Amino acid sequence: MLSVPPGLVGEVRAAGEDLEAVGAALPGIVGRPDARFGRGVFRWCHGLVDPVGGDDPDAVWLPADDQRVPPWLAVFNGDVLVHVGDDGRYGAGVGRKRHDEFGQELSVATEEHLRGRGLARRLVAQAARRVFDEGAVATYLHAVSNTASARVAEASGFPDTGWWVLGLPVAS
């Protein structure tokens, strides 16, 4: 399913019969000629996971406007789960985008010097359990080419079931 403004449906349909043709034409059709049509992997939590090593003992839930929260994480509409190092600084974090009362999308990033230690995996699993406890479904999106994020998702209870998200991401 591809959603476009009603006035553009005819033009999008005329762009072609396959995703490649429509994707190539879509940026121009919607007035964003410099945008790039993309595909991401859409996952949802199939089961709560207790990750190897358990929860991150240095993780704390903080308001998104806390001074320790980096700008990429401050845009989420709720508190964020952050790994805080011995120096009191951010090392990794998970944001929760609350789409509605039923679904919350998780996003994670780890500072480069801390990668490979399982922080992202533990934080995502911990955040997914909180989403579940609040009665919602946790979702997780990542670029098809982002194999590190795919490994985090799998290890955190978000298997790839073949669903995609299609769109024209907004450059940050």
Does the pLDDT of residue 172 top 80, yes or no? no
In the predicted structure, residue 10 carries a pLDDT above the cut 60:
yes
- Mean pLDDT in residue range 10-17: 95
Dump pLDDT digits (tens) for 54-96.
888 899 999 999 999 999 998 888 899 999 988 888 999 999 9
Residue with tokens 């992997």: 41
Predicted local distance difference test score (pLDDT) of residue 146: 95
Q: Domain limits at 65? A: 46-137
How far is the CA of 79 from the CAs of 37, 38, 95, 158, 164, in angstroms?
A: 31, 29, 7, 21, 27
Judge whether 153 lies within some domain: no
Beta bridge partners of 39: 166
Confidence class for position 171, pLDDT limits 50, 70, 90: low
When pLDDT is cut at 50, 70 and 90, the band that residue 140 belongs to is very high
Predicted model pTM: 0.84
> Both 111 and 32 in a single domain?
no
Residues 50 and 133 in one domain: yes
pLDDT at 55: 85
**Residue 93, domain CATH:** 3.40.630.30
- Count of structural domains, the chain: 2
Q: Does residue 61 share a domain with residue 23?
A: no
The verdict on 77 and 125 lying in the same domain is yes
DSSP state of 117: S
* Mean pLDDT on 114-137: 94
